[in-house]
Structure 1
């Protein structure tokens, strides 16, 4: 697996903005978002930082809850990740390679679960207000399991609008995702989340 494949938040690393004084309401915004959002679409910019380098990617995403999602990286390379409810398909255009894995085993209670499944928030995380920075109010979601693979997630809102997610994993990778052009009522169908490997690509199983 190439270095760039660590970038998708569901698999490894979804960090660090300065924290200002805590403001009440971020948890309320998160819970309202979790209750109301049945579908989400928009754009994202994702930055992964470790001791050696910083990598930034961008693209678009679609989510239909529960359990369906599509992340399409367009810059600086093209890569598509589709969760169809049973299988996660990772298509790397440059490598002409598709990797498939069990969705339940891959996501578990990872950061991607917060976006794709409404039940994950209460069942897997402890929440607390975590200050403000750059006009964004943050909630810190700490995993209840000690072996979750990451230390915590910060979920940011501007008012009631989802604005950012930040995560620091157990290897010290820090990831920041900024969301934009959000549509909280996209017209999505389940068929949009099906995936068939293109002809001529290698298909690997995890």
Structure 2
């Protein structure tokens, strides 16, 4: 099973030491314009059984630009260039193109690479401290989306873990490493041209 998610999302935040989850998110929005990191992703079913494990790299430049590259065990790529989102499945030789404003909305990627209107799309709440992390819960106001809750766990000044619970009973757990805040990212990071010969599916009229 492949799970290609716009996590964009996605997915690290900066927090002031001792701050609660909401303070952490707001500090991230205020202080972080670009970032990059390695990630590992595990998909769990409703019983907590591992269904899939993947890893790769990600980067973002706010607002609206991000790159989410799955490297193992299969290669997939999600790129947002500020106006469109490209989803490239290497195995299927297929590229799906969506308009950024339609695809972001209340998606997890909007928390990372969107604008500052986070509370327009989410109900935010502190979720306490456990497992050595300070947690924030973000519930999308759009009830028609594919997920129903995002949990973000902070360790001092860095988002250490992110859990995305969807409407199908699956939980995607993201763990970040080698996080770098506000690096200089080349413009090519957020550009994508479909390779020759691949199938292209676009929502553009």
Shorter-chain TM band: 0.7 to 0.9
Alignment-derived partner of residue 92 in structure 1 = 89
Alignment-derived partner of residue 48 in structure 1 = 43
Alignment-derived partner of residue 152 in structure 2 = 155
* TM-score, normalised with respect to structure 1: 0.85
Instruction: Encode CA deviations 1:2-58: one digit per residue, 9 max, x unaligned.
Output: x41x332448999xxxxxxxx862221221012111001001111112258510110
Task: Report 1:44-123 matches (<5 A).
Answer: 44-50=39-45, 54-123=51-120
Instruction: Encode CA deviations 1:103-135: one digit per residue, 9 max, x unaligned.
Output: 221221111100001324222112211122322
Identify the match of residue 194 of structure 1 among 191, 195, 198: 191
- Determine the C-alpha separation between the residues in 2 that align with 1:114 and 1:82: 16
- Determine the C-alpha separation between the residues in 2 that align with 1:41 and 1:33: 14
Q: Residues 12 and 195 of structure 1: is their aligned pair in 2 closer, same or farther, counting only changes over 3 Å?
A: closer
Alignment-derived partner of residue 29 in structure 2 = 34
Instruction: Encode CA deviations 1:36-85: one digit per residue, 9 max, x unaligned.
Output: 11001001111112258510110000100000000110000111111111
- Determine the C-alpha separation between the residues in 1 that align with 2:155 and 2:128: 12
- Determine the C-alpha separation between the residues in 1 that align with 2:95 and 2:73: 19
Identify the match of residue 201 of structure 2 among 174, 199, 204: 204
Aligned Cα root-mean-square deviation (Å): 2.3
- Determine the C-alpha separation between the residues in 1 that align with 2:10 and 2:185: 27
* TM-score, normalised with respect to structure 2: 0.86
Question: Helix, strand or coil: the match of 2:40?
Answer: strand
Does the CA contact (< 8 Å) of 1:69 and 1:116 recur in 2? Answer: yes
Q: Residues 72 and 12 of structure 1: is their aligned pair in 2 closer, same or farther, counting only changes over 3 Å?
A: closer
Does the CA contact (< 8 Å) of 1:11 and 1:106 recur in 2? Answer: no
Segments of 4+ in structure 1 off by > 6 A? 11-14
